[in-house]
Chain A
Amino acid sequence: MNRTPPLARFAMTIALWTFVFFLAFPLVWLVLTSFKPSAEIMQRGAQLLPDTWTLENYRQALFGERILQTAFNTFRVAVASSLLTLAIATPAAYVLARRPGGVNKPVVGWILISQTFPMILIIVPLFMILSRLGLGNTHLGLVLVYTVWSLPFVLWMLRGYVRNVPVEIEHSAAIDGANHFQIITRVLIPLILPGLVATGLYGFINAWNEFFFALVLVKSPELQTIQVNLARFRGVEGLARWGPLAAGSVLATIPTLILFGFLQKGLVSGLLSGGVKQ
């Protein structure tokens, strides 16, 4: 048995903690800044802990800028678009992976090319189409836009997950009498669950962080999303309301952390559930 020497293990632990600290530091800094008074934030020299702790920034973010309402709006839109993306992408990925035909390659090529379109090129026609459908200035319109925006990449990723599932498993299920629908829902989906969680999260984060579509497509203040709301703390010449911005960002992070907490379990269990003995 190959045992790692204690010194090497210690060095690896130190390296790991250093890496964790490196990753966590911006978040820690953000949280602590959110409790600093404005004057302390503007002081020269970095000081991690506030001298004076204050909740004033949270008061401004919560009651002055409708952070909770816009966070809820964003959560609703992000979850809906993520689920809709998966609902469309999963059967499509199955077809692309399992039914190689004449249109398969052009479709895959189109998926890749569509990723290169800059947003600014499509925003005006997109707005026209949504307005004509009565979906301008609605969350449903935004959900559809985010779905279309995430779909190509999610489809591309899921296609890879489906291809990695041995087709023999499906054949076995078919021999046992399962139809296509049952094969997809009872055999394939549990096996590609990690992929579904990963791509679902990708769609969610895409929608959560998106700014430009939300800025242009949604006009009513009560429908605005969190990113557009947070941008309102920024001023001119590099100035910003740093304290309320930090507090708003902390509050905006909470729903995402909760979602990740739940999905992490699904991600791990999905990873463990897909073994094939060859």
Chain B
Amino acid sequence: MRTNRSTPVLLALAAAAALLFGSAAAQAPVQLRFVSLAWQEQAIESVTAVVDAWNAQNPDIQVEYQQIDWGSIHDFLITSFETRSVPDVFHYESRAIIDFGGRGYLTELSGVLSEDMLSDVVPGAWESVTDADGNIWGVPFLWESLIVLYNADLFADAGVTPPTIDEPWSWDDMRSAAATLTQDTDGDGQPEVYGAAFGLRAPVNRILNLSVGFGGDFFYQDADGNWEVRVGEAEQQVLRIITEMMFEEGTAFPDSAGLSGPELFPGFFEGRYAMLPGIGVWARQQIVQNAPEGFNWGVLPPLVADTQEQGSATQTLSIPAASPHQEEAAAFIEFLLDTQNMATLAQGDWLFPTRASSFDLPEFQTSEAGWDVATESARHLRLAAFQLVPNYTEVRNRVMTPVLQELFSGRITVEQAAAEIEREGTRTINR
């Protein structure tokens, strides 16, 4: 029979093919796809240098680098998870990955990571990626503090001496200095130099993080796990200071409600504002790159409220549950985030590493570009309550942002804003 005669030939061919392709498959390196959010030239160079080093040292596990922008990453990841066409490692932020982990999109990492990594990354950073059941959904590797930038020439002209790390200013000290620094040289009632300017176009995260120092958490959970929004005296402190400086004392630029942090730089470089309180630590890079020659600036130590604490989110690396190469991906993360590499990545983004061993490296202790004072602010970071709230984004976008914009435009009072945020925030959170 024809079939019978051809069968052994086919089987032999199949076996040969299996041997051929099987051995080829065995030799082919594992391909990992790594999605990164680094976007500044220096940060991209740092990441690609580390990836290249990994690829050179690990011919069996090759990493393909893919850059995605911050504005698209959420949609990109959601569609990737739903279609199961996932990157093997991705870069994102702590608040989002807690949500992803809860939905089953991510690999739980506590049993995957090395003891060195688990013990060296500071506890406050681990808190930001750990859910209520103790699951770790990512490795925190970068974090940001809020700092005060100042124009050194305006300080010198006004006779204001900047505080030191050992003797930092309180918020009231900053207000007094802002009053001294504010100048209305032509006497028209409109200062030519304001003591301070706050970028308040998207104010919520900044206010929540700064309020931590006054003990203001805004979001509170009862014993049954239900959340509610409370805006008491502690939560109102930062709101009150900013609005009084803008609208009563006239020491802060009053049109800040329409400006983002980066939009303050042109005025800061021109000497229109003497201080930028509550701006991200990354902002120093903008000054180094874009300030006019001879611009004298510095970083003030974190302001003292009840404490110097601030809330902070972390940037993270996670492994999707659908990744077929989880073990290799974890090994790559360990490499990418070893002590020196994490320091390199942090420097590239002008943020702080989360490993204690990286944090203590000399590059973060130098006075150049204000690293030493900025690093001091990182010692006071902690997880803010809002990062644990399940539908915080909705509360922020629908309630807090519009109410705070009204407040910072001078249309409502702090008390009115507080009442509105409490009422609508609690209603939204429990919807």
Which residues of A are found within 8 Å of B69, using beta-carbon distances?
Answer: 231-235
Residues 26-56 (chain A) with a chain B CB within 8 angstroms:
38-39, 41-45
CB distance from B18 to the nearest CB of A (A): 22
Which residues of A are found within 8 Å of B289, using beta-carbon distances?
Answer: 38-39
Q: Is there contact, CB below 8 Å, between A44 and B79?
A: no
Q: Is there contact, CB below 8 Å, between B75 and A215?
A: yes
A221-B66, A234-B71, A238-B262 known; A215 vs B39 contact (CB < 8 Å): no
Q: Does B104 contact A (CB under 8 A)?
A: no
Q: Is there contact, CB below 8 Å, between A120 and B41?
A: no
Q: Does B290 contact A (CB under 8 A)?
A: yes
Q: Is there contact, CB below 8 Å, between A42 and B66?
A: no
Chain B, interface residues (CB within 8 Å), range = 35 or more
1/0 per residue, CB under 8 A from B, across A50-74: the answer is 0000000000100010000000000
1/0 per residue, CB under 8 A from B, across A214-226: the answer is 0110011100000
Q: How far is the CA of A228 from the CA of B66 in the complex (A)?
A: 11
Q: Is there contact, CB below 8 Å, between A215 and B72?
A: yes
Which residues of B are found within 8 Å of A113, using beta-carbon distances?
Answer: none
Q: How far is the CA of A131 from the CA of B40 in the complex (A)?
A: 33
A44-B267, A237-B202, A237-B262 known; A232 vs B39 contact (CB < 8 Å): yes
Which residues of A are found within 8 Å of B82, using beta-carbon distances?
Answer: 124
Which residues of A are found within 8 Å of B65, using beta-carbon distances?
Answer: 221
Q: Does A17 contact B (CB under 8 A)?
A: no
Q: Is there contact, CB below 8 Å, between A232 and B41?
A: no
Give which listed residue, B33, B40, B79, contacts A124 with CB less than 8 A. B79
Which residues of A are found within 8 Å of B68, using beta-carbon distances?
Answer: 215, 232
Q: Does A167 contact B (CB under 8 A)?
A: no
CB distance from B256 to the nearest CB of A (A): 14
Q: Does B425 contact A (CB under 8 A)?
A: no
Q: Is there contact, CB below 8 Å, between A216 and B76?
A: yes
Q: Is there contact, CB below 8 Å, between A234 and B85?
A: no
Number of interface residues of A (CB under 8 A): 33
Q: Is there contact, CB below 8 Å, between B66 and A235?
A: no
Q: Does A14 contact B (CB under 8 A)?
A: no
- Across the two chains, which residue of chain B brings its CB closest to A230? B69
Q: How far is the CA of A239 from the CA of B67 in the complex (A)?
A: 17
Q: Does B302 contact A (CB under 8 A)?
A: no
- Across the two chains, which residue of chain B brings its CB closest to A231? B69
Which residues of A are found within 8 Å of B79, using beta-carbon distances?
Answer: 123-124, 127, 216
Which residues of B are found within 8 Å of A25, using beta-carbon distances?
Answer: none
A interface, CB within 8 angstroms of B? 38-39, 41-45, 60, 64, 120, 123-124, 127-128, 131, 136, 211-212, 215-216, 219-221, 231-239, 241
B interface, CB within 8 angstroms of A? 33, 39-41, 44, 64-72, 75-76, 79-80, 82-83, 85, 201-202, 260-263, 265-267, 269-270, 272, 280, 286, 289-292
Task: Provide 15 A-B residue pairs closer than 8 Å at the C-beta atoms, listed in order of the A residue.
Answer: A39-B291, A42-B290, A43-B266, A43-B292, A44-B266, A44-B267, A44-B269, A64-B44, A120-B75, A216-B80, A219-B66, A220-B64, A233-B69, A234-B71, A235-B69
Known contacts A43-B266, A136-B85, A241-B41; 11 additional CB pairs below 8 A are A42-B265, A44-B267, A44-B269, A212-B75, A216-B83, A221-B64, A235-B40, A237-B280, A238-B260, A238-B261, A239-B262
